[in-house]
Structure 1
């Protein structure tokens, strides 16, 4: 299998260098995912733009993490599930809900469960949903904006999940914490 390089600002193609430096300044380190994506300036820019736009959606930090984790578990992305477990804890997602998400089980919070189910339906059915599925999501208190905002979140995670599968992105040092570990193999 092809070996992918995890780039630094010194080894990345010139068009990726400034963005990698910016990522390092914003995060305090350059995630291996970004280092891998830097081989394609377009892929790195796309992921950064999508992730930034996901932060601008009308979802709370907890709701965003529910959506990110739902997509990442669906795609079986161990790197992203570990990373978003860490971020979900920072967003103060209750541990019981986090464990349920990681295990693919329903959530106790009815609104978050409606979000989880809708995200699963979107990715599973590739957006070809029946009116009743959209109505059930809206009935849980979400709006048209939320339906479309989820497309941004799903796009961001699809880029990162697929990249991590292709690259076999090495996990970050903090991901060595057994509490973050997750396996797609059941």
Structure 2
């Protein structure tokens, strides 16, 4: 049971209906978490616009989904882990690799550097050293991509924290247990 109102697609009007129509066109359904965020059309619009901006940026979908998995694992959000496991597979990760990202043991060196960097950055006590930045740069990430990685982490952190408040039913296949 959700803690906040869920704006059902058949009850959406105005700007929310337009955003729902765009979401449905893009992915076929309006996920439960979006129905909670829609309590504030401003929040839903910002969330969607941020995602669209990031998708048009320099950081690829595979990198974005690895970040989403790492953040969602750190926050232990079953909803976000389910959603981003599915999206990570669509972006090119295998199920085994999604688990490795979540454990911080991904064997792809570039992704490993990115996941390690983001995992350190999102820790409440996380301090980013010169060496941390140098390592992610040495893995091939540009300053623009590092900036987008931090923004991607922030967007996913919002979704994870919002889910803690809202508690939307998971409407994606469950992520594998670790």
TM normalised by structure 1 equals: 0.85
Which residues of structure 1 form unaligned runs of 5+? Answer: none
What is the correspondence of 1:49-88 to structure 2 with a 5 Å cutoff? Answer: 49-88=49-88
1:133 aligns with 2:115: no
Q: How does 1:1-186 map to 2 (within 5 A)?
A: 3-12=3-12, 14-102=14-102, 104-125=103-124, 128-172=127-171, 174-175=172-173, 180-182=174-176
Q: Which moved more, 1:145-154 or 1:123-132?
A: 123-132
Matched residue count: 178
CA positional deviation for 1:8: 2.2
Secondary structure at the counterpart of residue 122 of structure 1:
helix
2:12, 2:5 → 1: CA distance?
A: 9
Deviations 1:90-109 (A, max 9, x none): 1221333212123x232111
What is the CA distance between 1:77 and its match in structure 2?
A: 1.1
**Cα separation, 1, equivalents of 2:145 and 2:124:** 18
Taking the aligned partners of 2:24 and 2:125, their CA distance within structure 1 comes to 33
Could you say if the C-alpha distance between residues 94 and 2 of structure 1 is closer, same or farther in structure 2, counting changes exceeding 3 Å?
closer
Q: 1:78–1:182: 8 Å Cα contact kept in structure 2?
A: no
CA contact (8 A) 2:4 2:166 kept: yes
Shift of 1:35: 0.7
**Deviations 1:80-119 (Å, cap 9, x if unpaired)?**
11111111111221333212123x2321111110010011
Q: In 1, are the aligned partners of 2:36 and 2:166 still within 8 Å (CA)?
A: yes
The runs of 5 or more residues in structure 2 that have no matched partner are: none
